[in-house]
Structure 1
Amino acid sequence: MSEQNRPLRGLLESDPVVVTAGVSLLADALRDQAVQVTETQWQPPPPGTEGDLARVMGDARRVEANRLAFERMTAAEAVLTDVVPASQSLGLERGTFLHAGPPVEWERASGPLKGALIGAVLFEGLADHAEDAEKRLAAGEFDLEPCHHRGAVGPMAGVVSPSMWMYALRDDVHGNESWCSLNEGLGKVLRYGAYGPEVIDRLHWMTRVLGPILSQAVRSTGPIDIRAIVAQMLQMGDEGHNRNRAGSLMLLRELLPGMITADASSSDVAEAVRFSGANEHFFLNLGMPACKLATLAAEGIPGSTVVTVMARNGTDFGIRVSGTGDQWFTGPANTPEGLFLGDYGPDDANPDIGDSAITETGGIGGFAMAAAPAIVKFVGGDVPFALRATRTMYEVTTGEHPVYQVPVLGFRGTPTGIDVTKVVRTGILPQINTGMAGRVAGTGQVGAGLVTPPEECFTGAIAALAAAVPA
């Protein structure tokens, strides 16, 4: 055999593996002949984007800029340093409320966001009843601002008011901080748009009892490495968005010594421990700011096409991209498809809402479903879908996370650093798993499911990136 044919040696000694692109006719024919086939999801870029896409992909800065963005994302630390009220941590003024997703006015706000804002106004004592709160919100008496504009994140409606206690996380590598409110549990809760008396009473208890106890616990036990917990929970069947069982227990293990010695009555300590231990999403509100710190580290790199924010307010889905800074690119939020609670059905579900897609932006959540196949029991789909979802996300990301790994894929790093050029070029949209809020204000949670962003977020980003390419 000649030297030039040496690479072909042994080619016919093993079964062929075929990779196909485009329509599935060829793949189906090969499978009928017992040939192993890997289908790639590919389609032409959306009409009218070809020129912008070519210009961005030809940007001489892009490869190095994306390498730097990925390097910063995966090097970012996430350490829980304190638990403090939003008035202190974020400088949130009375009458100002943060919310999830891109900016939105009251008139365009979704039902669950309106419900959460009504509840927050009642909680802060700025109105005597729901009708008064809604009237004052509609009149524009209060300031509304996205959580992301202050470096924070909020699950579902994401509403934060000055009296709410916040987890404070820090990345000393890049000098960034991020915050998130405490998790209320499931069911009729503020973040799902409920605002009944039980919701307001729980918020007051969290402010009076839970927040101060958690604050003492963190300060007495010392900083807690949240990134390390995320890495470990992926080895234990969590994906970090809708499944946080292992992460919540590991966090409670770290906090428990400080909680039981806190300066509070024994009944308050017992209730705080019981509430935290019974809440399977206790950890979510720390995983989110941990991912926010990772994406914050990647912001503002000229020429980078890496996504740094994916967020939804129940009306719009918005993204931000490293190379375009604080600019939002939005489109109508899609409605998740999945499983419903009780008698609720598709007509009861609101379009996608929440900042929790920061988990997918940071390389976990829906991007790590292969690490948590049990998640499909909660959001729909099946185990092969969970595996396929993670494998597919490698096609639209910059690299594999060196710390967050998927055991079933041979400890391959999770797909991290969404690249808008790859999304537009392939037509593959990021996979998100999420809870579903009721469409009508005050309903609460109605289910959980799967969703993707609207394509126009990414085509809009491509147009802006193209305009920023140096002549």
Structure 2
Amino acid sequence: MVDVNKANKEALERVLSARPMLVGMGLAGEVIPEMGERMLLHAGPPIEWERMSGPLKGAIIGAMLYEGWASTPEEAEKIASKGEVEFDPCHHHHAVGPMAGVISPSMPVFIVENKTFNNEAYVTQNEGLGKVLRYGAYSQEVIDRLRWMEKVLYPILNAGIKRAYDSDNTIDLKNLIAQALHMGDELHNRNKAATSLFLRTLFPYLVESSIDNKALAEVVRFLDSNDHFFLNLGMAAAKASVEPAHGIEGSSYVTIMARNGTDFGIKVSGLGDKWFTAPAAVPKVLLFPGFKPEDVNPDIGDSAIMETLGVGAFALAAAPAIVQFIGGTPQDAVNYTLEMYEITVSENNMFNIPYLNFRGTPTGIDVLKVAETGISPVLDTGVAHKQPGVGQVGAGIVRTPIEAFVKAAENYVEKYLAE
């Protein structure tokens, strides 16, 4: 008989011992393993063009315009529908992407290395909120911003990160996450403190490596105006931290939760590379002015990796101010965190919540506990418009579809517990 508690303890120890460090940057097509020249990575489980949601299609159209593979949205749609571009989940390439999560070969990505296990994770730079590619927008301003991020933002950040690395001051993302939790972030929909800490840490090296102070000032202003910039870095840190916990015989530890706007999917440590899926849920939304509930697309993004790590909605009690962005009350935030202790393996030894007397965040979703209790993980999330090209319409809370966890639990029982 398999010892599930022992297996889950090993998975948890691997996650808790992770040391995710920002070690560099590069162009996606050059550094992400097995990324083809005509490949676009996307958030969530695998999906074909015909079943893609509006925001994912919009992001793919935008990426093709950015790459120069198409000159108009109509041409991009035609190329995509003919199968002339390959689509693959970010998670299949040690990468993650927020919302639509589209990564194209020319996009700059951060490289995060888990120094404990020597594995790497990859993620793009964060564009900000509103009318941006990851929410399915693809207007000229979106493409121009992406090209500025490639031609101006990337070289300056890369030089500063390299300067820090060469000075033996590699940026410790886990430490920044822990500090940000004490400053009111939950690291999914609120990254104000983490972004400030990141900029404060990196700024001396940006100055030392700068050869164009006017461009540097432009970059600093962009970072200062984008409170969500650290989200992508936090996601890569989470991916690098959780990935070594996958593949442990007998473990019911959930190592991936992800959504593509059509399907929600999970992977479980002891169940190999199989995706367990269910229809993506529709978030409870605090809408931006001018939008209606019927505009809301079902949940989308790899950013649920933050809850898989034990932060995000699992740490909402640390971020009472977030309810101004996602709706609800501070007490609701506390209640969500308390509920998540019921379905997790243990508490985090580094991420803790001041309001709960510095109790560690609930960490390590146990698929068997989810199935047994009927409590599915909660996420706080951004919300995209159903139609391609529109962008963000709000933010909110979503309860992940329990059907995916039940399927995985049944598979676990069949594999390990059936007589």
TM more than 0.5:
yes
- 1:79 and 2:27 matched: no
- What are the superposed Cα offsets for residues 93-149 of structure 1, whole Å, 9 maximum, x if unpaired? 321000000000000000000000000000000011110001100111000000000
Helix, strand or coil for the counterpart of 2:58?
A: helix
Helix, strand or coil for the counterpart of 1:283?
A: helix
Q: Which letter maps to 2:270?
A: G
- 1:461 and 2:408 matched: yes
Which structure has the greater CA radius of gyration?
Answer: 1
Instruction: Report the equivalent of 2:5.
Output: 63
- Among 340, 353, 362, the alignment partner of 1:415 is 362
Q: Which letter maps to 1:160?
A: I
- Among 81, 84, 103, the alignment partner of 1:138 is 81
Please give the alpha-carbon distance, in whole angstroms, between the structure 1 residues aligned to 2:2 and 2:81: 48
> 1:70-219 alignment to 2 at 5 Å?
70-91=12-33, 92-219=35-162
> 1:43-442 alignment to 2 at 5 Å?
59-91=1-33, 92-222=35-165, 223-442=170-389
Please give the alpha-carbon distance, in whole angstroms, between the structure 1 residues aligned to 2:362 and 2:409: 21
- What are the superposed Cα offsets for residues 303-348 of structure 1, whole Å, 9 maximum, x if unpaired? 1001000000000000000001211000000010120011112111
* Shift in Å, 1:239: 0.3
Please give the alpha-carbon distance, in whole angstroms, between the structure 2 residues aligned to 1:278 and 1:346: 28
Q: Which letter maps to 1:452?
A: R
Please give the alpha-carbon distance, in whole angstroms, between the structure 2 residues aligned to 1:191 and 1:148: 16
State TM-score, norm by structure 2: 0.97
Please give the alpha-carbon distance, in whole angstroms, between the structure 2 residues aligned to 1:383 and 1:237: 12
Q: Which letter maps to 1:100?
A: A
- What are the superposed Cα offsets for residues 194-232 of structure 1, whole Å, 9 maximum, x if unpaired? 000000000011111111111100000121000000000
Q: Is the CA contact (8 Å cut-off) linking 1:61 and 1:302 kept in structure 2?
A: no
Unaligned 5+ segments in structure 2 are: none
Helix, strand or coil for the counterpart of 2:247?
A: coil
Helix, strand or coil for the counterpart of 2:264?
A: strand
Q: Which letter maps to 1:178?
A: A
* Shift in Å, 1:263: 4.5
Instruction: Report the equivalent of 1:450.
Output: 397
Q: Which letter maps to 1:188?
A: K
Q: Is the CA contact (8 Å cut-off) linking 1:259 and 1:273 kept in structure 2?
A: no
Q: Is the CA contact (8 Å cut-off) linking 1:262 and 1:269 kept in structure 2?
A: no
Please give the alpha-carbon distance, in whole angstroms, between the structure 2 residues aligned to 1:171 and 1:400: 20
Q: Which letter maps to 2:410?
A: A
* Shift in Å, 1:265: 2.4
Helix, strand or coil for the counterpart of 1:442?
A: coil
* Shift in Å, 1:449: 0.4
- What are the superposed Cα offsets for residues 268-303 of structure 1, whole Å, 9 maximum, x if unpaired? 111111101111001101110111122102100011
Please give the alpha-carbon distance, in whole angstroms, between the structure 2 residues aligned to 1:71 and 1:263: 40
Please give the alpha-carbon distance, in whole angstroms, between the structure 1 residues aligned to 2:206 and 2:228: 18
Q: Which letter maps to 2:111?
A: A
Please give the alpha-carbon distance, in whole angstroms, between the structure 1 residues aligned to 2:279 and 2:258: 12
Q: Is the CA contact (8 Å cut-off) linking 1:431 and 1:452 kept in structure 2?
A: yes
Q: Which letter maps to 2:10?
A: L
Most deviating of 335-344 and 190-199: 335-344
- What are the superposed Cα offsets for residues 335-368 of structure 1, whole Å, 9 maximum, x if unpaired? 1012001111211110000000000010000000
Q: Which letter maps to 1:164?
A: M
* Shift in Å, 1:60: 3.0
Identity between Structure 1 and Structure 2 (%): 51
Unaligned 5+ segments in structure 1 are: 1-58
Please give the alpha-carbon distance, in whole angstroms, between the structure 1 residues aligned to 2:374 and 2:146: 42
Please give the alpha-carbon distance, in whole angstroms, between the structure 2 residues aligned to 1:186 and 1:267: 24
Please give the alpha-carbon distance, in whole angstroms, between the structure 2 residues aligned to 1:93 and 1:205: 24
Aligned residues: 413
Please give the alpha-carbon distance, in whole angstroms, between the structure 2 residues aligned to 1:181 and 1:194: 16
Please give the alpha-carbon distance, in whole angstroms, between the structure 2 residues aligned to 1:118 and 1:167: 23
Q: Which letter maps to 1:86?
A: A
* Shift in Å, 1:441: 0.2
